[in-house]
């Protein structure tokens, strides 16, 4: 299971970790507004850059934002770096259009918020490094966590965690990964490169995974197609391929037609689903 996107339950943070954060924040207050703590930027876990707050500010112009922060429960003002500019500066422009389509944002205690990387290219996101209302940081959330040294906020009305915008606090790293790294359970294990199951996986990854999960990993708009049972164990091949090509013929449904898929593409998707039938979920709900 991937971690839910959203605020971190600080019940999992130890007093030592809170103290460490406090120390980092105090150090930041002495040296200037920017925290001394460094923020790490990675791709598939490999470091791309690691900078302190002051170093980041030499590359990305800070802004001030004032908005209703739902985690603080009140209107707040922060100094922050716009997240798109920050990502552009660290990964180079165009980072949001690569196969590294997923972002894993990890907090001081190892808690990870997972998000679609393209969300971080949207306006409204800002990486807060200073609370302008109080010295240090005002605690947030039900458990009054200290959000520093870095806290990603979104100022838009529809940019809450319920719309899958990540709001990690006590952030230490951003790691851009490929979809299959975020969802290892969907991989066609054992399929030879170029085999029909491998080709089917490529189509599935590009067109189906955003709505359908395999073994509880993936989108939640449509049903999981492998757990608890593979769709291939209770539907015929003819039904599945016919349905995937044109669901609108059968039902009024949120699933789009895929009229451009060739018969061979549909066969490949089917073969991928059959392969996954032999690779059931490890931990049923
Ligand atoms: C926009 C979201 C969306 C996309 C994209 C999508 N689906 Fe679906 N799919 C759904 C929803 C919702 C359902 C369930 C309700 C329904 O059938 O209307 C569904 C149902 C199905 C079913 C039928 C399950 C059953 O037993 O009734 C299959 C099979 C399926 N999808 C496969 C695929 C495949 C393969 C792709 C990619 C080529 C795909 N879907 C793309 C949303 C989507």
Q: Is 108 left (phi over 0), alpha (psi -120 to 50) or beta?
A: alpha
Average pLDDT of span 218-232: 96
**Residue whose entry in the numeric block shows the structure tokens 């605020």:** 7
Of residues 71 and 5, more confidently modeled: 71
Nearest CA to ligand 1 atom 19: 222
Average pLDDT of span 157-173: 92
The distance of Cα 254 from the centroid of its chain, to the nearest Å, equals 23
Average pLDDT of span 33-51: 96
Where do you find CATH 1.10.760.10 in the chain? 183-277
Determine the length of the chain.
Answer: 285
**What is the number of the ligand 1 atom nearest to the C-alpha of 235?**
26
Q: Given this model, what pLDDT does residue 10 score?
A: 38
Average pLDDT of span 251-277: 97
Task: List the one residue out of 174, 88, 165, 60 whose CA is nearest residue 119.
Answer: 165
Site to probe by mutation for ligand 1, drawn from 206, 208, 224, 264 as the one with most ligand atoms within 8 Å of Cβ, is: 208
Write the CB contacts of 131 (distance below 8 Å, at least 6 apart in sequence). Answer: 76, 77, 78, 137, 138, 147, 148
Average pLDDT of span 202-209: 92
Average pLDDT of span 122-141: 95
Task: Please report which helix (H) or strand (E) contains residue 51, including its range.
Answer: strand 46-52
Of residues 249 and 19, more confidently modeled: 249
Task: Report the topology of domain 33-179.
Answer: Sulfite Oxidase; Chain A, domain 2 (3.90.420)
153: pLDDT strictly greater than 60: yes
Strand partners, 207: none
Residue 158, CA distances (Å) to 136, 168, 229 in order: 28, 17, 35
Q: Given this model, what pLDDT does residue 206 score?
A: 87
Task: List the one residue out of 160, 170, 284 whose CA is nearest residue 229.
Answer: 284
Q: Given this model, what pLDDT does residue 28 score?
A: 42
List pocket residues of ligand 1, CB cut-off 6 Å. Answer: 207-208, 210-212, 221-223, 225, 231, 235, 240, 243-244, 247, 251, 253-256, 258, 269
Nearest CA to ligand 1 atom 26: 231
27: pLDDT strictly greater than 50: no
63: pLDDT strictly greater than 60: yes
Task: For the chain, give the mean pLDDT.
Answer: 90
Nearest CA to ligand 1 atom 5: 208
Where do you find CATH 3.90.420.10 in the chain? 33-179
Average pLDDT of span 164-192: 95
In CATH, what is the architecture of 183-277? Answer: Orthogonal Bundle (1.10)
Of residues 2 and 73, more confidently modeled: 73
Percent of the chain at pLDDT > 70 equals 89
Could you tell me the pLDDT band of residue 1, with boundaries at 50, 70 and 90? very low
12: pLDDT strictly greater than 90: no
CB-based contact 221:254 (threshold 8 Å): yes
Question: pLDDT tens digits, residue range 234-245?
Answer: 999 999 999 999
Q: Given this model, what pLDDT does residue 85 score?
A: 98
Could you tell me the pLDDT band of residue 4, with boundaries at 50, 70 and 90? very low
Q: Given this model, what pLDDT does residue 143 score?
A: 84
Assigned token pair, 185: 């359970």
């Amino acid at each position: 299971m991937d971690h839910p996107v959203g605020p971190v339950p600080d019940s999992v943070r130890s007093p030592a970790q809170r103290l460490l954060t406090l120390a980092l924040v105090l150090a930041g207050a002495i040296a200037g507004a920017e925290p001394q703590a460094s923020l790490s930027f990675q791709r598939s876990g490999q470091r791309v850059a690691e900078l302190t707050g002051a170093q980041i500010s030499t590359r990305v112009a800070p802004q001030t934002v004032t908005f209703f922060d739902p985690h603080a429960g009140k209107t707040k003002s922060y100094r922050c770096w716009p997240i798109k500019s920050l990502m552009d500066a660290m990964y180079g422009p165009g980072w949001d259009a690569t196969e590294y389509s997923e972002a894993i944002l990890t907090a001081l205690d190892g808690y990870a918020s997972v998000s679609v990387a393209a969300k971080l290219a949207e306006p409204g996101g800002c990486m807060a490094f200073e609370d302008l209302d109080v010295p240090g940081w005002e605690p947030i959330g039900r458990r009054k966590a200290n959000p520093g040294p870095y806290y990603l906020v979104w100022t838009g009305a529809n940019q809450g965690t319920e719309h899958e915008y990540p709001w990690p606090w006590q952030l230490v790293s951003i790691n851009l990964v490929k979809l299959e790294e975020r969802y290892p359970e969907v991989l066609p294990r054992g399929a030879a490169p170029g085999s029909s199951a491998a080709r089917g996986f490529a189509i599935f990854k590009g067109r189906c995974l955003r709505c359908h999960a395999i073994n509880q990993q993936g989108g939640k708009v449509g049903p999981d197609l492998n757990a608890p049972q593979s769709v291939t164990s209770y539907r015929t091949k003819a039904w599945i391929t016919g349905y995937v090509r044109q669901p609108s013929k059968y039902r009024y449904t949120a699933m789009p037609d895929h009229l451009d898929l060739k018969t061979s593409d549909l066969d490949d998707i089917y073969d991928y689903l059959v392969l996954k039938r032999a690779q059931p979920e490890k931990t049923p709900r």
